[in-house]
């Protein structure tokens, strides 16, 4: 079992992807997002790839790898973090998610991919803050896996792109067919090839300036 705790003592003025409207995106924000290439910790855990990254700036985040595809996260008054389990390579997958998620005032549960050029979020559950409505361009909708997703694109500055699929019917357990989303992005002109354009693919818990918890199993 791997337990990672990040305790931040110094305040920081760094911007965060979660709270900043896209209209304020600039090179500074893009650089913060690009830092996710050097996580606090990453590696293999019982057959799955895990990733734990935190920005710093106050609060505490405790991430724990459990057996198989299970992990837990507990956070309190954190800055920005993302953590979860999945796969080192990104591809079209049918992903089973099961668990509980308490986002507090600002958090996400999503199938997440990252590269130095951008991110994708298939957002299954979230708190009151809706990232798509904060400066994102609404591109359309997708019906998949028993629900409807709103599709957004956001330029966070310096051509650092985010693609969002935000599920209207929030849930913390269920099946996610990633191919449906990636095909939809391409059909809408949002170029994305997971095999080439993503460094990893995880079911991520992410929080910003909030307190919450999650216990998620991925398969």
Residue 27: pLDDT band (50, 70, 90) is low
Phi, psi torsion values for 58, nearest 5 degrees = 125, 145
Q: Residue ranges of the domains in the chain?
A: 2-218
Per residue in 134-181, pLDDT (tens digit) is 889 999 999 999 999 999 999 988 888 999 999 999 999 999 999 999
pLDDT value, residue 151: 98
pLDDT value, residue 18: 41
Per residue in 188-207, pLDDT (tens digit) is 998 889 888 999 999 999 99
Residue 33: pLDDT band (50, 70, 90) is low
Q: Which of 88, 102, 80, 81 is nearest to 50 (CA)?
A: 88
Token pair 């993503």 is at which residue?
Answer: 198
C-beta of residue 122 within 8 angstroms of C-beta of residue 181: yes
Average pLDDT, the chain: 86
Token output for 121: 């979020």
C-beta of residue 79 within 8 angstroms of C-beta of residue 59: yes
Residue 58 or residue 186, greater confidence: 186
What is the set of active-site residues? 119, 206
What residues have CB less than 8 Å from 13, skipping those under 6 apart? none
Residue 79: pLDDT band (50, 70, 90) is confident
pLDDT at 24 over 60: no
pLDDT at 39 over 90: no
Predicted TM-score (pTM) above 0.75: yes
Burial of 197 (0-12, 13-18, 19+ CB in 10 A): middle
Residue 160 DSSP one-character state = -
Per residue in 97-133, pLDDT (tens digit) is 999 999 999 999 999 999 888 899 999 999 999 988 8
Residue 103 DSSP one-character state = -
Query: Cα separation of 146 and 208, whole Å?
Result: 29
Q: Which of 125, 121, 114 is nearest to 181 (CA)?
A: 121
Write down the architecture of domain 2-218 according to CATH: Sandwich (2.60)
Residue 136 DSSP one-character state = P
pLDDT at 13 over 80: no
Query: Cα separation of 186 and 65, whole Å?
Result: 34
pLDDT value, residue 104: 93
Q: How many angstroms separate the first and last alpha carbons of the chain?
A: 18
Query: Cα separation of 125 and 105, whole Å?
Result: 12
Looking at the DSSP assignment, which residues form a beta bridge with residue 23?
A: none
């Amino acid at each position: 079992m791997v337990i990672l705790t990040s305790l931040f003592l110094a305040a920081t003025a760094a911007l965060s992807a979660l709270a900043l409207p896209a209209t304020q995106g600039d090179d500074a924000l893009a650089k913060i997002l690009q830092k996710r290439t050097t996580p606090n910790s990453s590696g293999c855990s019982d057959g799955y790839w895990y990733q734990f990254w935190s920005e710093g700036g106050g609060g505490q985040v405790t991430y724990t790898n459990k057996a198989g595809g299970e992990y837990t996260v507990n956070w309190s008054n954190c800055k920005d973090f993302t953590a979860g389990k999945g796969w080192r390579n990104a591809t079209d997958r049918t992903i089973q998610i099961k668990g509980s998620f308490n986002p507090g005032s600002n958090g996400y549960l999503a199938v997440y991919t990252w590269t130095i050029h951008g991110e994708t979020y298939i957002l299954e559950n979230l708190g009151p803050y809706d990232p798509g409505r904060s400066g994102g361009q609404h591109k359309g909708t997708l019906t998949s896996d028993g629900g409807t997703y709103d599709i957004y694109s956001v330029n966070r500055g310096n051509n650092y792109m985010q693609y969002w699929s935000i599920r209207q019917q929030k849930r913390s357990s269920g099946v996610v067919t990633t191919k449906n989303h990636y095909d939809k992005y391409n059909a809408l002109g949002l170029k994305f090839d997971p095999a080439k354009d993503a460094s990893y693919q995880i079911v991520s818990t992410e929080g910003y300036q909030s307190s919450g918890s999650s216990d998620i199993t991925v398969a």
